Chain A
Amino acid sequence: MSQIADNRILRITKLFVYLMMGLVALLGAIALGGSALVPFFWSTIFLGLSKSYPAVDPAFLLSNFLAIMTLWVLISGLAWSILRKLLAIIGSVEEANPFVRANAVRLKAIGWLMVGIQIAGVPLEIAGSTFLALRGKPYDGFELPINSILAILLVFILAGIFEHGADMREELEGTV
């Protein structure tokens, strides 16, 4: 086993990814359960809400709530997929075999899934602003997620590096 494969950081990262997967699965399940159950109890919930916020429209609020839950389920699915791919990449590093074409494909897919999360985050933020407005907090508007954009670009660059690494490795394997 190589030094990289024996790395503690790798083991900690793997543990962290497993924890994140658990969290994502839990949040996804809550959102799924919420979107399935809340409509049945909406009248009761709305009675409580209308006492605090009399001007609120129940149909509008319910549709916003369902939109948030649906988007949250979608984002959880995308995040789950990212974490699964990340786990596979970590596995290949553990086996001291990271420069394979599959990892380049995985990284590219992770990049696109991250783009998907960013896109799904926009309507989520807009729908969420309805609930913030109830509490008197106005919607600040869309902010450019510079950190996320940089992270996505980094992942695509890494995918290119892995593709190049896989090419070099294939050539090395064909060298006698």
Chain B
Amino acid sequence: MPVTVKLDDLLYARRMTLTELAERVDITLANLSILKTGKAKAIRFSTLEAICKVLECQPGDLLGFDADGEGA
């Protein structure tokens, strides 16, 4: 998918683990893992809002677009 999720980089920058984020945003670790590994097909605004609130970032910091990516 040409849309990439940069959750890994953001977590690294904030020195936060996925488990910690899951606890703070109240999303299951399994779902966050799906998002982190780029297996998610869609993301709800509520999820985006919760993640951005905890990681103090903008949706654009979390998502990227690579036109040459797989399935483009």
Are the C-beta atoms of A174 and B44 separated by less than 8 Å?
Answer: no
Chain A residues with a Cβ closer than 8 Å to the other chain, count? 5
| Complex CA–CA separation, A170 to B40 (angstroms) | 11
Asked whether any CB of chain A lies closer than 8 Å to the CB of B27, the reply is: yes
Q: Is B3 close to A, CB under 8 A?
A: no
Contact with A along B28-72 (1 / 0, CB 8 A): 000110110001111110010000000000000000000000000
Chain B residue numbers with a CB within 8 Å of A144 are none
Q: Show 23 residue pairs from A and B whose CB-CB distance is below 8 angstroms, ordered by the A residue.
A: A170-B41, A171-B41, A171-B42, A174-B34, A174-B39, A174-B40, A174-B41, A174-B42, A175-B40, A175-B41, A175-B42, A175-B43, A175-B44, A176-B27, A176-B31, A176-B32, A176-B34, A176-B35, A176-B40, A176-B42, A176-B43, A176-B44, A176-B47
Chain A residues close to B by CB (< 8 Å): 170-171, 174-176
Q: Which A-B residue pairs are the 7 nearest by beta carbons?
A: A174-B41, A175-B42, A176-B35, A176-B40, A176-B31, A171-B41, A176-B43
Known: A175-B41, A175-B42. 14 other contacts (CB 8 A): A170-B41, A171-B41, A171-B42, A174-B39, A174-B40, A174-B42, A175-B40, A175-B43, A175-B44, A176-B35, A176-B40, A176-B42, A176-B43, A176-B44
